Copies of this chain bind each other. A is one copy, B any other.
Amino acid sequence: MSGSAVPEDFLFDPERLRRYVNGEDGKFDKIAANLPSNLVLRPLQLSDHSRSYMGLLAEHTKAPAVSFERFQERFNLMKAYGNIYYIIVIEDTSQNKIVATGTLEIEHKFIHSLSLRGRLEEIVVHQEDKDYRYTDGNLASIILEVLTTLGKVLGCYKITLESEDHLLDFYGKLGYKAEKGQNYMAVRYFD
């Protein structure tokens, strides 16, 4: 396999994820080593459609089940972009089930010297994990730390997210601060 080839089933190359996040202090390997042996941290795979990936998203927001064919079409579109969508998951191999996920989306800019901006989206941890069933750590923190490091290494001048009120402290501990005078606004058309 050449260095640039992405293994068939992955949204992006897992070796690239590991290398980027490892940086100087082997962060990725440390995190992986501290997970229980049945938990694997990796990029989204096409076959995660059968590991309740959509069901996990539905714990977070409106995410109706979709056929494998439609899932595959969207997956392949995201994959074809190559350097925009970084979706990671934690799989519980003992249950063949995705128990945590998060998305880093890269936005290409003209401002800030043609810089990149990162956005965190769809950070979801399976309900049962909120009771620390799987780990002494916190799967949400792991997802956040990996994606934030990835965005930094990719060259983002900033990474942003939208936080519900009750999560402000949680994100604050990971370096995310509310910025004075900035408001999130939306117009909605359908669910």
Contacts and interface: CB of A to CB of B under 8 A. Distances in A.
A176 B184 CA distance: 9
Interface stretch (A2-10, A23-31, A62-70): A62-70
A136 interface: no
Identify whether the interface residues of A are mostly helix, strand, loop, or mixed: mixed
A57 B110 CA distance: 8
A165 B181 contact: yes
Contact of A183 (B54, B63, B165): B165
Contacts of A63: 110-112
A184 B187 contact: no
Interface residues of A, number: 62
B64 A113 contact: yes
Contact of A164 (B73, B119, B182, B188): B182
**Nearest 8 A-B pairs (CB), nearest first?**
A176-B185, A63-B111, A175-B187, A160-B186, A158-B188, A165-B181, A184-B184, A163-B183
Interface of A: 53-54, 57, 60-64, 66, 70-71, 73-74, 77-78, 81, 84-85, 105, 107-114, 119, 121-122, 148, 152, 156-165, 168, 171-172, 174-179, 181-191
